Structures are given as C-alpha cells and as structure tokens.
Amino acid sequence: MKNIVILISGRGSNMEAIVRAAIPGSRIAAVISNRPDAAGLGFAASHGIATAVVDHKAFPDRASFDTELARVIDSHAPDLVVLAGFMRVLTADFVRHYEGRLLNIHPSLLPSFPGLHTHQRALEAGVRVHGTTVHFVTAELDCGPIVVQAVVPVQEGDDESALAARVLVQEHRIYPQAVRWFVEDRLTITGPNHVRVAAEQAGPTGWTVPPVEA
C-alpha cells in the first residue's frame, strides 16, 4: 500500500479527481494546504482524509516554510507527494528531498508556456493546440521528466475561460492515471526530461489541428 500526500492551495479539483479514482494499492494519507481557507480541505475531511495547514504567511522566508512543510508531510510517511494546484514555488532542498516521488500537473504542453496565465498566453501566441502536462518536479520551475500529456484543440472564438475549462477536464483524466502508474511501479525516469511507462500504449500515427484533407 502506497501512501500519497496531496498539497493544495484552493479548491483542489485535481485532488478531488485523484480521491474519487480510488486507485487500488494506494491510500490518501493526508491533504495539506498552505491556506487555512482552502475549500479542498473540507472535501478531504468529508472523505475521512487527514488534513493539515502549514500557512506560508506564518514563516519569515521560503526555506523555513518548506522545512516545516516537509516535516508535516513526512509525518505521514509518503511514498508519493502530489502537487494539485499548490501555488508555492518550492526550494531546491525541498525538491531534492522528494526527488522521484514528487508529481505536478501544469496547464500547458510543457515546455511551452511555463509559469502563470498559460491559457491566455496560448491564445495570444496563436497555437492550434494547447493542453496539460503531468511531470516529476525538479528545482527548475515547471520542468522535469514528463509522464503524460493531454492535447486540447484551440477552437475558433475561444477565450481564456473556455479554453481553461476544456483543459481542466483533461487534467482530471490524466492526473489520476499518472498517479496510478506510479502506484503500479510502471514509471521509470530515464533521463533529465524522460519517463518510461511500462507497457505504454501509443498509436503510430499523428494528427493535425485543423484536420488536413487527404
């Protein structure tokens, strides 16, 4: 049985998706937030999951916050730590402590559009496809070995809200899958930016947006 600790800062909809997936061989040991008013804490508690708050405002610097956060996380003996809308930049020491067992989801097709406001930036760039990426976390922001990505076509008339909503649907699909692969010991980091998924299934052909006529 693998223990999973999930970090949130707000509603935690990806946390909800992982909890609802009820992944065999795993246990959500705790949900931890840096914000006392995070709505996701109520959802977790209602599902019998331990919750905790490590308020970043109570610490003089990032390093001291991360030290206390790691202490609280480690009290739950995690095999995997999952960032689910956790809106804090983590120190290199924190990331190294959880190397190979720290996952994040980002709302773009990394390495494109790291950072914030990804949907608006995608629209401004005129890309035809957008999407979301699950990756192992490294010290560099929104980098690290990519586990899985989902592609969302950009549609005529899209605004930031419409595009974000369609991307979020895919986030809720692929994040539980990535966690499931970890629990099943199917993920192997093979390089600075590469992950091998055991028995991975992928179609041999590509696709285009807009479609190209034959």
Q: One-letter amino acid identity for 150? A: A
Give the 3-state secondary structure percentages of the chain, helix then strand then coil, rounded to 5. 35, 25, 45
CA-based nearest residue to 137, from 150, 147, 125 = 147
List, in sequence order, every residue forming a beta bridge with 152; answer none if it has no partner: 130
∠ CA 26-146-19 to the nearest 5 degrees?
A: 25
**Cα 128 to the center of its chain, rounded Å:** 23
Number of Cβ within a 10 Å radius of residue 49: 18
Question: Token pair 């956060």 is at which residue?
Answer: 69
Residue labelled with tokens 């190209």? 212
* Cα–Cα distance for residue pair 203/62, rounded to 1 Å: 44
Q: Is 130 a catalytic residue?
A: no
Q: Cα–Cα distance between 146 and 189 in angstroms, integer?
A: 9
Strand partners, 196: 188
- Among residues 106, 119, 130, 172, the one annotated as catalytic is 106
Residues taking part in catalysis: 106
